[in-house]
């Protein structure tokens, strides 16, 4: 979820402030203020589709286990045939390198869902990017036909890692944990396993989730 230049993206991820005159905020600092609905832009025959569903279930099980009422909401699949490779490539470079942030395509902006997972055919650096003005998070996932997504168990963990960013977590430096990433020397190929499994969160991350989404959290 040719690896020498594949980098988990969120080290330079920026949370932009929401204008004071916004009628209703979808985010509170790093946390959602509502249950985010999800749309997957890509074929349901794509192996990343099942990996995404598994990653969503992983997070929802985690929220339940730690006593948080927050969860990721309903999942739909977009039937749009448009290619977003150019857009997600530019957005990936924006997240990683601080390049100019590209304008969100109108047909993505008008999707009713809050969290948009885009399967790219390009060899991008996978990322999660918050867009407060639109009230959305874009998760871009690189081509699954190239290394390291061809390795067993990597796709589900890559999806879960990027969704972790989408809910508000950053990186840690423990290579045995799900959210390990730069500047630590962590790479997605370390998540390969003949056993289908998710790498765990740290205890500190679980506490951070409960701080963002406590037991009394309510959907606005």
Name the stretches of the chain with pLDDT < 50.
Answer: 1-23
Domain harbouring 130, CATH code: 3.40.390.10
Total domain count, the chain: 1
Residue among 110, 156, 153 at smallest CA distance from 134: 110
Residue 154 placed within a domain: yes
- Tens of pLDDT, residue by residue over 32-59, are 999 999 999 999 999 999 999 999 999 9
18 domain-assigned = no
Q: pTM to 2 decimals? A: 0.87
> Residue 8 domain-assigned?
no
Does residue 4 fall inside a structural domain?
A: no
In contact, 181 and 171? CB cutoff 8 Å: yes
What pLDDT was estimated at residue 24?
A: 59
pLDDT at 83: 87
pLDDT computed for residue 6 by the predictor: 34
The answer to whether residue 1 is domain-embedded is no
Q: Residue 120: inside a domain, yes or no?
A: yes
Domain hosting residue 186, numbered range:
26-212
């Amino acid at each position: 979820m040719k690896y020498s230049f594949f980098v988990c993206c969120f080290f330079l991820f920026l949370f932009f402030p929401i204008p004071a005159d916004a009628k209703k905020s979808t985010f509170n600092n790093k946390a959602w203020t509502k249950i985010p609905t999800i749309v997957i832009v890509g074929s349901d025959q794509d192996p990343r589709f099942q990996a995404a569903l598994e990653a969503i279930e992983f997070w929802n099980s985690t929220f339940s286990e730690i006593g948080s009422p927050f969860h990721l909401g309903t999942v739909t699949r977009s039937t749009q045939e448009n290619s977003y490779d150019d857009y997600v490539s530019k957005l990936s470079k924006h997240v990683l390198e601080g390049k100019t942030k590209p304008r969100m395509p109108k047909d993505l902006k008008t999707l009713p869902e809050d969290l948009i997972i885009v399967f790219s055919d390009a060899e991008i650096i996978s990322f999660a990017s918050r867009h407060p003005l639109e009230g959305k998070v874009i998760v871009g996932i690189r081509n699954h036909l190239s290394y390291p997504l061809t390795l067993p168990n990597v796709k589900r963990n890559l999806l879960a890692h990027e969704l972790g960013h989408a809910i508000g977590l950053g990186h840690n430096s423990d290579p045995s944990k799900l959210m390990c990433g730069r500047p630590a020397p962590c790479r997605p190929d370390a998540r390969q396993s003949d056993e289908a499994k998710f790498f765990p969160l740290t205890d500190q991350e679980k506490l951070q989730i409960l701080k963002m989404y406590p037991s009394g959290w309510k959907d606005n």
